[in-house]
Homo-oligomer: A and B are copies of this chain.
Amino acid sequence: MPTKTPTAEFRSFTETPDLPEPLPEPARDELRLETVMAALSDPLRLHVVRKLLLEAERIDHPCGWFGIDRPKSSLTHHFRTLRDAGLIRQRQFGLTRGNQLRVDDIEARFPGLLALVAQWKPAP
């Protein structure tokens, strides 16, 4: 019997209902500083991580929530880069894909890194 997928689009992941499995991602101890740095060297991805950090309220958010004016295929690329680097976790909620920041893993491996992202401002 297949897993029953939750229907709520903005389900809090603190409630831990029958959540779908995250898409493939590196484990906490596989995170590499150089890879994380590379992922954060792009303003678009910096914006995504910062928004998740400051406004996500521990809720999964789909790609559209970030308000980025780019083709969908470009967004797919950037979100995949973030997931491959281990910065975000992605879960398939029915049609939409929920994104959350891996705050605990990042803070455990790279303490203080997220504080730098929080104080970042995009170039003028």
Contacts and interface: CB of A to CB of B under 8 A. Distances in A.
- Within the oligomer, what is the number of copies of this chain? 2
A41 B46 contact: no
A33 B112 contact: no
Interface stretch (A11-19, A57-65, A93-101, A113-121): A113-121
Contacts of A115: 111-112
A42 B115 CA distance: 22
A37 interface: yes
A116 B116 CA distance: 12
A66 interface: no
Most chain-B Cβ atoms within 10 A of its Cβ — which of A40, A115, A123? A40
A26 interface: no
Interface string A35-47: 1011011110010
A35 B120 CA distance: 12
A46 B110 CA distance: 15
A37 B46 CA distance: 10
Nearest to A117: B33
